[in-house]
Amino acid sequence: LGRFKEGHQEVEVALHVGDSSETIDGVLRQRFALGFVGVARRDRHLTFEPFVRDRLVLIVPPDHPWAAARRVSYKQLLNAPLILQQRGSGATAVLQDALREYGISFNELHIVAEVGLQESVKTAVRAGLGVAIISRLGVAEELARGVLVEVPVEGVELNRHLYAVYRRTTPLSNLARAFLDFAHRSAAEVLGSLEAEQR
C-alpha cells in the first residue's frame, strides 16, 4: 500500500482486514470498492477475477518433531493439534473441501483453536500451540526467516486461486483499476522471489 500511495499521494487508502465472507459482504454492500479473497462464490452481483495462484501448506515451529520430516501422512495430520482460521476464511473452506474428498469431516480433526486472522494462526504455531494449514503466500516471510517450517503432506495438494472481487453492476473507478493492476504486478514480484528461493 505504501508503494501505491507514493505514486498517488492525493489518495487516502482505507484497508480492512477480514475473512473472505466479511470481505465479500462488504463489497456487496458497497462498503468496499474492491476486495481480495481466497474463495469465489456464485453471485450475479459480483465479479471474481482470478488474481494469483496460491497453495495451502502445513506449518510447524522449528523445534517440532515434524520439522525435520520429509513428509507426513494426512492420517498423522488427523491426530495433530490443529490451529485453524475461523470458518468463513478462504483457507478453511479450501481445506474443508479437500478433506471431504478423502471422506474426512472437520469433526475428525483435533482442532485446538480457531482464530480470526492469519497472523494469529502464525503466532499460535510459533508459540507451540499446534500445527496449521495456511496460505503459502501468507507465510513466505516466516519460512524464509526459518521461524516456521513447511512440511509436505503426502498425497495432498491444496492449490487455490486468490480472487479480486468487485461489483459487476458498478464498474471499477480508474483509481481502483490502477490499484488492481498495481496489486497484480506486486504479486508477480513476490511469486518470482518465492520461486527463486525454492531453486
Write out the three cell numbers for 70. Answer: 520429509
Reported confidence tier of residue 103, pLDDT bands at 50, 70, 90: confident
> Would the pLDDT of 113 be above 70?
yes
| Alpha carbons 104 and 98: distance in angstroms, whole number | 9
Band (pLDDT 50/70/90 cuts) for residue 98 is: confident
* CA pair distance 85, 115, nearest whole angstrom: 5
Domains of the chain: 2-52+161-198 (3.40.190.10), 54-159 (3.40.190.10)
What is the per-residue burial (b if ≥16 Cβ within 10 Å, else e) of 66-86?
Answer: beeeeebeeebbeebebbbbb
Which one has a higher pLDDT value, 102 or 121? 121
Residue 192 pLDDT grade (very low, low, confident, very high; cuts 50, 70, 90): low
> Alpha-carbon distance 77 to 86, whole Å?
18
State residue 191's pLDDT score: 67
In this structure, are residues 133 and 158 in contact, taking their beta carbons and an 8 Å threshold?
yes
For the entire predicted model, the pTM comes to 0.75
1: pLDDT strictly greater than 90: no
Q: Say if residue 173's pLDDT is above 80.
A: yes
Helix (H) or strand (E) holding 49: strand 46-60
CB 165 within 8 A of CB 47: yes
Say which residue, 98 or 151, is predicted with more confidence.
Answer: 151
For the chain, what percent of residues have pLDDT higher than 70? 94
pLDDT digits (tens, 9 = 90+) for 43-89: 999 999 988 888 899 999 999 999 998 899 988 988 999 999 887 67
Alpha carbon distance 151, 145 (integer Å): 15
Q: Which three cell numbers stand for residue 58?
A: 502445513
Residue 148: per-residue pLDDT? 97
Cα–Cα distances (Å) from 127 to 53, 79, 97, 130, in that order, read 29, 19, 28, 8
